[in-house]
Amino acid sequence: DMTKPGFLPFLMRYPNSILIVEDAENIIRDRNQDTFVANQAVSNLLNLSDSLLGDAMHQQIICTFNCDVKSIDSALLRDGRLVVEHKFDKLSVENPRHLCLELGIPGNGDDIHESTPLAEVYARKNAALGALWNDLENGRTSSKNKR
C-alpha cells in the first residue's frame, strides 16, 4: 500500500529498481479532486521520482491506468517527471487473429471482425486454458487428446 508509512522505507531497500504499479488510477489522480489516500500516494510517487530521495534511489516507476490523462495530478505530468507516455490502442483485425493463432487459442480468432484490445486476446487464452483445466480435472479430454 503506497500510503502506508512503511512503503518508502521498503523501497529504499531496493535502489536501482523498477516499480510497476498496475491499475494506478486511484493513486495518480489529481490531489485537488480526491481524498487523503490519493494525496499521500501522489506525494510518495513524487518523492520517488523527483526529490533528493529520488536522486539517491535511481528508481524508475511504470504506472498503468485506464483513466483520462486529464484526471492525473499535474505534478506527475511535468517535464522531467513523465519520461514516456504510451497509449495502447486496439489492435487491427489481422493482429489479434495472428496472435490467437500463435497462442493456440481455439478458433484462431476467426470470429474477430473489428479492432480488438490486446487484453481481450489474452482473456480468450485464459478462458481456453480454464476450460482445458476444468476438462482435465473432470477426467474429460477432447478426442484429439485421447490415445
Give dist(CA 85, CA 70) in Å, integer: 13
Instruction: Tally the residues of the chain.
Output: 147
**What pLDDT is attached to residue 146?**
47
Do residues 48 and 14 lie in contact, with contact meaning Cβ atoms separated by under 8 Å? no
Overall average pLDDT of the 94-118 stretch: 93
Overall average pLDDT of the 10-21 stretch: 86
Give dist(CA 24, CA 99) in Å, integer: 27
Q: What tens digit of pLDDT does each residue of 109-143 get?
A: 999 999 999 989 999 999 888 888 888 888 865 54
Q: What tens digit of pLDDT does each residue of 33-81 get?
A: 755 555 777 887 887 776 666 667 778 889 999 888 888 888 888 887 8
Task: Sketch the domain layout of the chain as residue ranges.
Answer: 7-77, 94-137
**What pLDDT is attached to residue 147?**
40
**What pLDDT is attached to residue 80?**
76
Query: Reduced to 3 states, what is the DSSP secondary structure of residue 145?
Result: coil
Homologous superfamily of domain range 7-77: P-loop containing nucleotide triphosphate hydrolases (3.40.50.300)
Do residues 100 and 109 lie in contact, with contact meaning Cβ atoms separated by under 8 Å? yes
**What pLDDT is attached to residue 111?**
94
Query: Reduced to 3 states, what is the DSSP secondary structure of residue 115?
Result: coil
Separation of CA 35 from chain center: 23
Q: Between 92 and 4, name the one with better pLDDT.
A: 92
Overall average pLDDT of the 72-91 stretch: 86
